[in-house]
Amino acid sequence: MTSRNQPHRRRRQSAFTLLEIMVVVIILGVLAATIIPQFMGSTQEAKVSAAKAHVAVLETAVEQFYLHMDRYPTQDEGLSILEKAPINDAAKWRGPYIKQLRKDPWNRPYQYRRPGTHHPSSYDLWSQGADGVDGGEGDNADIGNWQ
């Protein structure tokens, strides 16, 4: 029971002071500054790994095309022939060899050359890497079927 004669107890209001909030923000900033660069490198590594996997899948599809058609796709046909039957050889074509011809992780088309520079008797298949230009080193290096 509460009597009216007892003094009212003041409730202590709990709140963060501006100084406490600033300390937390500074700690979060320091953590972000040390952790985010590590994830940035992971993103690039993930794109390179994805491009290598895509090149391997496309290479398998080109080899299946070769087994069925007794030839590699021509330079003019390119990789799109893996999705749609050629007009003049539709009877031998057993595709589609891929569901969809996707772009590389940098949103550029994969490159195909027949005859290849690295494989003169067959073909070269590659992504131009982060810079979108043939050649390059490090993050900008090409990712191809010759590696």
- Cβ atoms 119, 146 nearer than 8 A: yes
CATH architecture of 47-144: 2-Layer Sandwich (3.30)
Across the range 56-76, mean pLDDT stands at 93
Reported pTM: 0.71
The residue behind tokens 């040390």 is: 34
The residue extents of the domains of the chain are 47-144
Sheet holding 124-127, edge to edge: 111-113, 124-127, 143-144
How far, in whole angstroms, is CA 105 from its chain's centroid?
A: 4
- Cβ atoms 123, 107 nearer than 8 A: no
88-146 pLDDT, tens digit each:
878 888 989 999 999 999 999 999 999 999 999 999 999 999 998 898 888 789 999 99
